[in-house]
Amino acid sequence: MTGTFRSLAIRNYRLWAAGALISNIGTWMQRVGQDWLVLTELTHHNATSVGIVMGLQFGPQVLLLPLTGFAADHMDRRKLLFATQATMGILAIGLGLLTVTHLVTLWEVYIFAGLLGCAAAFDAPARQTFVSELVDEAHLSNAISLNSTSFNSGRMIGPAIAGLLIAAIGTGWVFLLNGVSFIAVLISLSLLRLDELYVNERASKARGSLIDGFRYVWARPDLKVVLFMIFLVGTFGLNFPIFISTMSVTVFHAGAGEYGILSSTMAVGSVCGALLAARREKPRLSLLLIGAAIFGVGCSLAAIMPNYWLFGCVLVLIGVAAQTFTTSTNSLVQLSTEPAMRGRVMAIMLAIAMGTTPLGAPIVGWTADHFGPRWSLAIGAASGFAALLVGLLYQSRVKKAAAAEMVSV
């Protein structure tokens, strides 16, 4: 098999992708259900509370960073994924039972979000780097992009299903179904052929290895620039639950079904962006610059859209841009990092991309509450343009250094 879907010719990757797709659909169902529960059932359209939930869910990516990167590099990633996926499934079922019995409170949602964040903090770097054990180096960039396609296919399907289920039978059942969906990925992990895994070199457990990832990144100017760009966009731009929920509820006065459709609409663009990335042999810094620029333009347009449908159309553009940016970052970081360091470097990248949400989400939510959702989108636009500026300055400096070196020769 060649082209966009070439990694699916590998049996182990095909099994993993099938289980992950089902689990991803359930995960996005839960995210929509959780935001809707907080925004409309436990508070009166309080975007700050949604931001706090996001902060608690993604904060552990930063707080547990030394442990999560260390675990991804030193432990058996397949066994680690068994543990994290099972834990997240149990937590989803627990929150679902509290919700369907009408016992859930805002503080309990905060607690479950924090616990889920702890499990996800260990899961994310292990899941991202486990791909390198499913395929050879030649297929790695394609497999990473197809992983993003699967994630965003779940993002396209899950919110639409969640919106319909919330309207029909209630939010709690969305959480319960998500808990059941984790069975699919557990089955796929158990069916993998262990003798066909591409087991990477494990990092040594020498004293100080916990901070080796930071030292490695600090010595790489290219990685520092890429990570700073993802910091800007991740902190202030990737707050889609706040952007979409507040625009949907407070600006366009839409219901749960319409909210789910908007989330799925943006995911259409994300899937397109991931598939485009899968066609490319290798990621380049120029793709990050293009993605950041289009993201800034897309958020600017979304902030001024006069009605629900035009807003939904612009979300497709934002989805393409965000996915081009994040997938290219993921591939660029993994392919340019030594195998023994990938777990720790990816943990750093994911902590920056997702763990900085505790800084950005409450600020974006507060802005939406006090100045309106359109101004929160303006913050997202500024993050894209700022990341573009950082990348352009680095690119200019590299070109000047190369020119100076040629002159000296």
315-369: per-residue pLDDT in tens?
999 988 988 888 888 888 888 888 778 878 887 887 787 767 667 888 888 899 8
- pLDDT computed for residue 238 by the predictor: 83
What is the overall mean pLDDT for the chain? Answer: 86
- pLDDT computed for residue 24 by the predictor: 86
pLDDT average, residue stretch 253-270: 79
CA 369 to chain CA centroid, nearest Å: 25
Q: Does pTM surpass 0.85?
A: no
pLDDT average, residue stretch 4-29: 89
- pLDDT computed for residue 208 by the predictor: 47
Which of the four pLDDT bands, split at 50, 70 and 90, describes residue 408? low
**Domains delineated in the chain:** 13-195+209-403 (1.20.1250.20)
- pLDDT computed for residue 150 by the predictor: 81
Positions of E strands within 24-162: none
- pLDDT computed for residue 173 by the predictor: 95
DSSP codes joined into one string, 223-242: HHHHHHHHHHHHHHT--HHH
Lowest-confidence pick of 21-25, 54-58, 320-324: 54-58
Shortest CA distance to 27 belongs to which of 68, 84, 78, 102? 84
- pLDDT computed for residue 207 by the predictor: 46
Q: Which tokens belong to 85?
A: 């996926």
Which amino acid would we find at residue 378? A
- pLDDT computed for residue 201 by the predictor: 56
- pLDDT computed for residue 357 by the predictor: 66
The predicted-structure confidence for 111-164, as pLDDT tens digits, reads as follows 999 999 899 889 988 888 888 899 887 888 788 878 877 877 777 788 778 888
- pLDDT computed for residue 114 by the predictor: 92
Query: Is 292 in contact with 286 (CB distance < 8 Å)?
Result: no
Which residues, including other chains, have CB under 8 Å from residue 181's CB and lie 6 or more apart?
22, 23, 25, 26, 27, 29, 89
Give the residue with greater pLDDT, 310 vs 66: 310
The predicted-structure confidence for 298-314, as pLDDT tens digits, reads as follows 999 999 999 999 999 99
Shortest CA distance to 143 belongs to which of 23, 278, 322? 278
Shortest CA distance to 132 belongs to which of 276, 325, 279, 346? 346
- pLDDT computed for residue 111 by the predictor: 95
d(CA 337, CA 53): 33
Distances from the Cα of 182 to the Cα of 23, 85, 176, angstroms = 5, 6, 11
The predicted-structure confidence for 198-226, as pLDDT tens digits, reads as follows 876 555 554 445 577 788 889 999 999 99
The predicted-structure confidence for 220-233, as pLDDT tens digits, reads as follows 999 999 999 999 99
d(CA 311, CA 294): 16
Q: Where do we find the tokens 């289920």?
A: 165
Three-state SS for 369-381 is HHHCHHHHHHHHH
Q: Which tokens belong to 232?
A: 């800007």
Which of the four pLDDT bands, split at 50, 70 and 90, describes residue 185? very high
- pLDDT computed for residue 305 by the predictor: 94
- pLDDT computed for residue 180 by the predictor: 94
Would you say the C-alpha torsion 353, 244, 322, 342 has a positive or negative sign? positive
Q: What region, left, alpha or beta, does residue 283 occupy, with left being phi > 0 and alpha being psi -120 to 50 degrees? A: beta
Asked whether residue 370 carries a pLDDT value surpassing 50, the answer given is: yes
pLDDT average, residue stretch 185-210: 75
Which residues, including other chains, have CB under 8 Å from residue 23's CB and lie 6 or more apart?
85, 154, 181, 182, 184, 185
d(CA 58, CA 72): 18
Burial readout 70-107 (b: 16 or more C-beta within 10 A, e: otherwise): bbbbbbebbebbeebbebbbebbbbbbebbbeeebebe
Helix or strand (DSSP H, E) at 105 = none
Asked whether residue 176 carries a pLDDT value surpassing 60, the answer given is: yes
- pLDDT computed for residue 202 by the predictor: 55
- pLDDT computed for residue 43 by the predictor: 87
Query: Is 98 in contact with 115 (CB distance < 8 Å)?
Result: no
Asked whether residue 73 carries a pLDDT value surpassing 60, the answer given is: yes
Q: Which tokens belong to 227?
A: 């990570």
CA 142 to chain CA centroid, nearest Å: 18
pLDDT average, residue stretch 13-17: 93
d(CA 407, CA 264): 53
pLDDT average, residue stretch 269-285: 74
